[in-house]
Structure 1
Amino acid sequence: MNIRQAWLWLNNIDGIGNKKISILLGVFDSPLDIFNAKEQDLKQVMGLRLRDILEIEKSKERFDVKKFEEYLFENEIKYISIQDKDYPKALKNIYEPPHILYYKGTLPKKEDTMLGVVGSRNCSEYGKKAAYNISKSLAESNVTIVSGMAIGIDTCAHRGSLDGKGKTFAILGCGVDICYPKSNAELMKEIIKNGAVISEYSPKTQPLPQMFPARNRIISGMSRGVLVVEAAEKSGSLITVDQALEQGRDIFAIPGDITSSLSSGTNNIIKQGAALVTSYKDILLNFGIIEIKTNPSDKAMISDSRENIKDNIKENIKENIKENNNFDKLLDEDEKIVYSCIDLKNSHIDDIVNKSKMGISKMQHLLTMLELKGVIKQLPGKRFERLM
C-alpha cells in the first residue's frame, strides 16, 4: 500500500470520521504510519475508543483498495488529500478541514476568486431571480460561484454561473457519484464540465441530514465570502453564515420582502452588519475587482462586521425565544432530553451521549436539529454550548 492508497483506506473506516482522523494524524505522521501501527500503539492514542481500534484493525483486512481504485477510475472520480500541493489553500486553513476531497471535474485554480451562495430550498420567485441574475453577472466578471446543488437558491446560483460562462463548484452532502436531488442530474453534468462536484464523503455515501451542516463549512471555507440570498429565521443557511464568520469570511445578504418569512433571516443579518447587496457590483467592490468611484468613505459601508454579526445573531435567537415564549414548542421530546444534557457552559459529545443514553447516530442527528433550530452551537473539539 502506498501513501495515496493509505488515504483512501483511512477515509473508509467505519466510525472514523474527519475529527478522529485529525486525532490519529496528531500522533502518526501519515495514513501509511497509521496503517502500519500495531494495536498496542493505537491504544495509546487519546480520544480513540476500543471499538474504533477494532474497526481500524478489521479494515486493514477488509478494505480492498484495488477494487476501490477501480471504482473511482470507472466513474471518473478523482481525489486529493490535504497533504497534496493542489489542495485548496483557503480550505486548508479553516478549523477541521476535510482530509480528503473526492471530485468529478476540475478543482479551482489558486487565482480563482470564489463566492459561496446559499439560501432557502423553498424559495420565492424573487429569490430565484436574484440568485440567478447576480451569479450570472458575477460569472461574467470572473467570479466563481460555490454552492450546494440543492433545489432552490443553490440551483439558481449554479445555473446563473453556467449561463454567464463561468466556473461553478457544487459541494455535496453525499458521495460525488450520487446526484442529490435527482432532479438536478443534468445540472450536475454541466457543473462537472465547467467546474466540479466535490465531497469529503466517500463514493456511494448516501445523503443524511447530519452531513449538510458539515459540508457547509466547505462552501464557506473555499470561498472569499458568502452571499445569503433568501433565508428564513431558522434557516440552515444561517449555520453557513456562522461558519463563515468563524473562518473570517465576508458576509453579504440580499434584502427581501419584509412581509415574507422567507426573508426574515437575511433581513436580520443585514441589520446585524452583513453587507447589503442590491447589485453584483457591490460584491466586486468589496473584493477589489472594481474601484469605488464615489466618496472613499463609502467603502466603510461595505466593511465586514464579523464579531458584531455573530454576537447579534446569538442575542437575536435568545430574544426571539424569550419574547415568543415558545421554547417548549420549538423542541420535540428527544431534543429536549439532549438539550438538558448539555451543561450551562458546554459539554463534549461523549458526555451528552452518556447522559442521554442514546446511540451516537441518533445523537448526531438530534444535535444537528438543535443547531438548525438555533438553540445550541458546536465548538471545536466536539463540544456543544447552549445559546440560551
Structure 2
Amino acid sequence: MSKTIPYDKEELAAWIRLVLTPGIGIRTAHKMLTAYGLPQNIFMTSYRELQRIVSPQIADAIYAPVPEAITEQIEKTQKWLEEPGNAILTLSDSNYPGLLLEIPDPPLMLYVKGRVELLSSPSIAIVGSRNATAQGRMDAKEFARSLSESGLTIISGLALGIDAAAHRGGLKGKGSTIAVVGTGADIVYPARNRELALQIAEEGCVISEFPLGTGPLASNFPRRNRVISGLSGGILVVEAAARSGSLITAKTAIDQGRDVFAIPGSIHSPLSRGCHELIRQGAKLVETSQDVLEELKHYNSVSESSDRKMEPENTSLQEDILLQMGFDPVDSDTLCERCEIDAASLNVELLSLELAGEVESLAGGFYRRLVKR
C-alpha cells in the first residue's frame, strides 16, 4: 500500500517554479535555499537582497512574471498528484531520504510513484551493461533476489539488460525495488520495460527528479546515476565495458563514500573489463550475495536458503561436457576433441544444456557455460 503524502499547493507551486526558472541550477538553488529557507521566501526577497548572492540575470529571472509554461507545469503536477500512488518529496519534507541528503547536490524535488517508505529502507544499487550476456542477467537477477530476500531494497535505473534483471530479482523478495528514471515519472523509457515499470510502481517505487513530461535526453542520465548511488548503501556492478555509464555511476558512488562491489568475469569478455578495472581500483570482488552482506554488516543477514546454489541434474555425458567446457568461450570442434564424441552427439547435448539454462551459444559457433549463483 502506497503512503499518502500531504502537500500544500502554494508551497509545491513555489518549488516547481524554483526548479523551472531559467538559469537556476541545483547548486544555485541550494545556495538560495540556505540563505532564505523555503522557495516562497526566495520569491518574496527584495531584488537588491537577491543580488547579494546571485547574478543580476538570475535575480531578473526570479522577478520576471511567471511564464505560462511553468504555470501549466504546476497545474499538470497538481493533477498528477490526485492519482493514487503518486507523491512529491521536496528537500524540506521529513520523508525525503536521508542518504540522498548526504550527497553534494541532492535533487530539490523527487516525483514518486509507489511505496515512498522504500526510499528510507536499507538498500543496494545493482547496475551494469544494457547489452548484457545471459550469464550477466542471471547473476543480476539472482543477486537481487537473494539480497531482497535478506531485506535490502534493490535500486537500479530501469534500463535494458542488467538493470531490468536486477529489478525483477528485487521484486521477488521482501526488500522490493526502486527504479530511478531519467525521464519524467509519467514516462516509461525504454518502452520495452513498460510492464516492468507498472509492476514496480505497484509493488515497489519509481522515482524521478525531472518534471513531468521530460523525455529521455542524454544529459539526464548522468544526473540520474548520482541519485542511484546516492540513495544506496553500496553499489554492485555486474557487467560493464571499459568505458560505460555503469563505471561512471560506480565512481560517483566512491565520491559519495559508498561501498562498491564488482563481480569478476572471463578475461576474454569485453563486459568483464569494467568490473576488473573497478576491482583493481579497490572495489570489493564478490562471488555470492553473502559476500556483499558481510561488508554491509549494518544490514540484515541473508538466510542460508536464499544463497543456496541449485545443483543441476545432468547426465554423465553432459557433466563431462560442462567440465571440459570450463568457463571461457569454446567452439564445438574443440569440445568434440576434448570430450571425444562426434559433432552430432555434441549438438544434441548442447541443445539440451542450453534449454536447461546451463550454457549459452555465442556468435561464431562458440559456447559458454553459465554459472547459477
- The DSSP-based 3-state class of the residue aligned with 1:139 is helix
Q: What per-residue deviation string (whole Å, max 9, x for no partner) do you get for residues 265-289 of structure 1? A: 1012112221111111111211223
Query: Which residue is 1:146 aligned to?
Result: 155
- Structure 2 residue identity aligned to 1:271: R
Query: Structure 1 residue 23: deviation in Å?
Result: 2.5
Q: In the alignment, is the contact (CA less than 8 A) between 2:241 and 2:273 conserved in 1?
A: yes
How well do the aligned residues superpose, as a CA RMSD in angstroms?
2.3
Taking the aligned partners of 1:191 and 1:165, their CA distance within structure 2 comes to: 13
Q: In the alignment, is the contact (CA less than 8 A) between 2:119 and 2:231 conserved in 1?
A: no
Q: Residues 173, 276 of structure 1: CA spacing in aligned structure 2 closer, same or farther, 3 A cutoff?
A: same
Query: Structure 1 residue 49: deviation in Å?
Result: 5.2
- Structure 1 residue identity aligned to 2:62: I
The answer to whether residue 101 in structure 2 is matched with residue 92 in structure 1 is yes
Query: Which residue is 1:116 aligned to?
Result: 125
Of 135, 140, 147, which residue of structure 2 is paired with 1:131? 140
- The DSSP-based 3-state class of the residue aligned with 2:136 is helix
Query: Which residue is 2:38 aligned to?
Result: 30
Identity %: 41
Taking the aligned partners of 2:118 and 2:187, their CA distance within structure 1 comes to: 25
Query: Structure 1 residue 67: deviation in Å?
Result: 4.9
Query: Structure 1 residue 8: deviation in Å?
Result: 2.2
Taking the aligned partners of 2:15 and 2:186, their CA distance within structure 1 comes to: 19
Q: What per-residue deviation string (whole Å, max 9, x for no partner) do you get for residues 97-130 of structure 1? A: 1111111112235762200111111111111111
Of 160, 166, 172, which residue of structure 2 is paired with 1:157? 166
Q: How does 1:157-196 map to 2 (within 5 A)?
A: 157-196=166-205
- Structure 1 residue identity aligned to 2:61: E
- Structure 2 residue identity aligned to 1:20: T
Q: How does 1:273-312 map to 2 (within 5 A)?
A: 273-288=282-297, 289-290=300-301
The two structures have a TM-score, normalised by structure 1, of: 0.70
Taking the aligned partners of 2:120 and 2:220, their CA distance within structure 1 comes to: 29
Taking the aligned partners of 2:99 and 2:232, their CA distance within structure 1 comes to: 7
Q: Residues 185, 43 of structure 1: CA spacing in aligned structure 2 closer, same or farther, 3 A cutoff?
A: same
Taking the aligned partners of 1:111 and 1:53, their CA distance within structure 2 comes to: 36
The answer to whether residue 235 in structure 2 is matched with residue 229 in structure 1 is no
- Structure 1 residue identity aligned to 2:36: F
Q: Residues 186, 93 of structure 1: CA spacing in aligned structure 2 closer, same or farther, 3 A cutoff?
A: same
Q: How does 1:1-388 map to 2 (within 5 A)?
A: 2-46=10-54, 48=55, 50=57, 52-58=58-64, 60=66, 62=68, 63-64=70-71, 65-74=74-83, 77-109=86-118, 112-288=121-297, 289-290=300-301
Moved more, 70-79 or 219-228: 70-79
* Structure 1: runs of 5 or more not aligned: 292-388
Q: What per-residue deviation string (whole Å, max 9, x for no partner) do you get for residues 151-178 of structure 1? A: 1110000011113354100111111001
Query: Structure 1 residue 54: deviation in Å?
Result: 3.6
How many residues end up aligned between the 2 structures? Answer: 291
Query: Which residue is 1:295 aligned to?
Result: none
Could you list the structure 1 runs, at least 4 aligned residues long, displaced by more than 6 angstroms after superposition.
none
Taking the aligned partners of 1:284 and 1:14, their CA distance within structure 2 comes to: 44
- Structure 2 residue identity aligned to 1:246: D
Taking the aligned partners of 1:215 and 1:109, their CA distance within structure 2 comes to: 18
Q: In the alignment, is the contact (CA less than 8 A) between 1:77 and 1:104 conserved in 2?
A: yes
Query: Structure 1 residue 28: deviation in Å?
Result: 1.9
Relative contact order higher in (CA < 8 Å, ≥ 6 apart): 2
Taking the aligned partners of 1:111 and 1:198, their CA distance within structure 2 comes to: 13
Taking the aligned partners of 2:126 and 2:56, their CA distance within structure 1 comes to: 38
Taking the aligned partners of 1:79 and 1:277, their CA distance within structure 2 comes to: 36
Taking the aligned partners of 2:218 and 2:266, their CA distance within structure 1 comes to: 29
Query: Structure 1 residue 257: deviation in Å?
Result: 1.4
Q: What per-residue deviation string (whole Å, max 9, x for no partner) do you get for residues 186-222 of structure 1? A: 0001111122111111111112111111111111111
- Structure 2 residue identity aligned to 1:13: T
* Structure 2: runs of 5 or more not aligned: 1-8, 303-373
Q: Residues 229, 49 of structure 1: CA spacing in aligned structure 2 closer, same or farther, 3 A cutoff?
A: farther
- Structure 2 residue identity aligned to 1:3: E
Taking the aligned partners of 2:116 and 2:84, their CA distance within structure 1 comes to: 17
Q: In the alignment, is the contact (CA less than 8 A) between 1:108 and 1:195 conserved in 2?
A: no
Q: In the alignment, is the contact (CA less than 8 A) between 2:85 and 2:115 conserved in 1?
A: no
- Structure 2 residue identity aligned to 1:8: I
